[in-house]
Amino acid sequence: MPIISVVLGEGRTKQQKRDLCRALTDAAIAAVGVKAEQVRVVINETPLDHYSVAGVTFAEREEQALKEPTK
């Protein structure tokens, strides 16, 4: 029984998460030949201020992007 764990930055819609679960289930079925009922998908949403790259959180990046003039 495949268990697929996904970490996402918060902010996705319910529909986006549902679509992701379906796509991951389909991928597991195709890749390892299991039935849909055997596939488990766990989505862990992480607040953007709990996730960073190079010491800068995604919340900070988002704030900065809002401050920058649009081109």
Distance CA 46, CA 10 (A): 5
Could you give the CA distance from residue 16 to residue 44 in angstroms, rounded to a whole number? 14
Is 69 assigned a catalytic role?
no
Catalytic residue among 2, 17, 43, 57: 2
Query: Within the chain, how many helices (H) and strands (E) appear?
Result: 2, 4
Which positions are annotated as active-site residues? 2
